[in-house]
Chains A and B, each alone.
Chain A
Amino acid sequence: MNLVIMAMILALLIPIYEAWKNDEVWQRMLAFASIATKTAIMALVISVLRDDWMIGIVAVIILSVGNAALMLLAHVIKRINDVSN
């Protein structure tokens, strides 16, 4: 079970590296979306492994709220590009 978590951490490092290297803001937003979903899924897996439903509920809420935050931020950044052109 430790191996599953370690594999997920390795998969999480890929978008982190991408967010660090890429200079375009939309590429970073993509990496952010990837990381937000991956961390929530990792918390879900850990909650199942530990049989801890409190962490599981929080992970589900983070999974849904993370998408909402991403949409809000993407909308504001899109408006910035619209106004400046």
Chain B
Amino acid sequence: MNENDLSVYVITALLPLTAFMLIFQVNPYHALVMRGILGAIAALVYAVLGAADVALTEALVGTMLAITLYAVAVRSSLVMRLGILKDLSTQGERQFEQLLDDLRIILGKRHMRLEVFPYTDMQSLDQALIEKEVHAVCSQRSQPQSDFEQDYAACENDKLCFHTAVRVQRLYEIMQAELTSPGNILTYVKPSGSKEEHS
């Protein structure tokens, strides 16, 4: 190994370099790709230093299995599930698309995705929120409830008025701070199903 000493040192120096690149990643998907790069470099370093079995394990488990499993885990956890009524998108198409686009931008800042689940009627929509199938529901209430009369009066000129109920507190805080679409009423629903507060 004497004549190869310098190259071995340089190859080994690549490992902390890629490790720093990995830990400074913000986006989880980019970090997964960087983890793959780190795994490839690590396998090379182990092979060069003579540990062929460790290199093989790193390539098989560290690179292949770990990043695939983590990709599936990140994909299913960084998502907001929004339940809507099936005919909502046809009734107020433009305004609703605007609302969804705003929501996508807000969630995109936090590397999250928006998944929309259509439901056939109001009852199954409410049931889905209570049974934690979705994180939030967006609907167009025709008969205003007494709590929201003021809000409905505010958007009476604009006939399309959406009511979004969120059951995750952190999502509610984020949406309350940043979602400024006109004609959207945001409420926080406690997991038990009782309505707490509204804005």
Residue numbers of A with Cβ under 8 A of B are 1-2, 5-6, 9, 12, 16, 19-20, 23, 25, 28-29, 31-32, 35-36, 39-40, 42-43, 46-47, 49, 52, 54-55, 57-59, 61-62, 65-66, 68-70, 72-73, 76-77, 79-80, 83-84
Contact = CB atoms under 8 A, between A and B. Distances in A.
Contacts of B124: none
Nearest to A5: B7
B37 A62 contact: no
A58 B52 contact: yes
A76 B7 contact: no
**Majority DSSP secondary structure for residues of A touching B:** helix
B130 interface: no
A43 B37 contact: no
B198 interface: no
Chain B residues touching A, majority SS: helix
Contacts, number: 129
Interface string B27-44: 101101110110011011
A66 B39 CA distance: 10
Contacts of A9: 7, 10-11, 14
A29 B63 CA distance: 13
A32 B10 CA distance: 20
Q: How large is the interface on B (under 10, 10 to 19, 20 to 34, 35 or more residues)?
A: 35 or more
Interface string B43-64: 1100110101101100110011
Interface of B: 3-4, 6-7, 10-11, 14, 17-18, 21, 27, 29-30, 32-34, 36-37, 40-41, 43-44, 47-48, 50, 52-53, 55-56, 59-60, 63-64, 67-68, 71-72, 75, 104, 113-115
B68 A76 contact: yes
